[in-house]
Amino acid sequence: GAVVSQHPSRVICKSGTSVKIECRSLDFQATTMFWYRQFPKQSLMLMATSNEGSKATYEQGVEKDKFLINHASLTLSTLTVTSAHPEDSSFYICSARAGITHRFQETQYFGPGTRLLVL
Amino acid sequence: AQSVTQPDIHITVSEGASLELRCNYSYGATPYLFWYVQSPGQGLQLLLKYFSGDTLVQGIKGFEAEFKRSQSSFNLRKPSVHWSDAAEYFCAVGDFGNEKLTFGTGTRLTIIP
């Protein structure tokens, strides 16, 4: 089955520092990756959509200069939280969708998430 | 804009009992519907999906869901729950055009012995 990994699973950082989170599709090529944020006891909120080799599309209200997304290859996307502050503490989840030529078309497969705590 | 409503925030059922989790959606065309399960501290696992065809879809772990267009619903069912089914369940509607998934607020399932 489709597997998506995230690294790290948990990170604690000081306020003002930057944190990079990796999202990898392990057994399929992901033309599109999505980044979500989940607050405690709430649903997932889509932050941005990234397509391999092009700039990410951010949802309204998401600061693109703060949440830098790079989709450098068909198996890797990264989210960098720049100058992190305590209010950025959250659970960040990525998902990946294969190209339309793949049997996993139209379905997103989710990573296990990254818990970010900013002190 | 598409939306998903999960009217039950928390449901408690006894182990071995049947389960139904409700999901209502709003979408202008034929929806792509999903149910995901999230265990504590984990990402989401796809239980089942509906794109077209048979309105009763079978998923993993013994779950099934029925698409009812007239009621704009996609309720998740399981005939007999196990303690390991305790988790958060999310219904989602997908827009194939812009590839976005819109999630409901989730239903937390507690299983009692």
What tens digit of pLDDT does each residue of B68-105 get?
999 999 999 999 999 999 999 999 998 766 668 899 99
Strands, sheet with A67-73, edge to edge from the N-terminal-most edge strand:
A4-7, A19-25, A76-81, A67-73
Nearest one of A38, A23, A14 to A79, comparing CA atoms: A23
Where does the pLDDT of residue A105 fall: very low under 50, low under 70, confident under 90, or very high at 90 and above? low
Query: For a pLDDT cut of 70, what percent of chain B falls above it?
Result: 96
The answer to whether the CB atoms of A97 and B100 lie below 8 A apart is no
Interface of B with A (CB under 8 A): 32, 34, 36, 41-46, 49, 51, 90, 94, 96, 99-106
Does residue B63 contact residue B89 with C-beta atoms inside 8 Å? no
pLDDT at residue number B2: 83
- The segment with the largest mean pLDDT, out of A73-77, B12-16, B43-47, is B12-16
- pLDDT tens track for A30-89: 888 999 999 877 888 999 999 888 889 999 999 999 999 998 888 999 999 999 999 999
CB pairs under 8 A between A and B: 48
pLDDT at residue number A53: 81
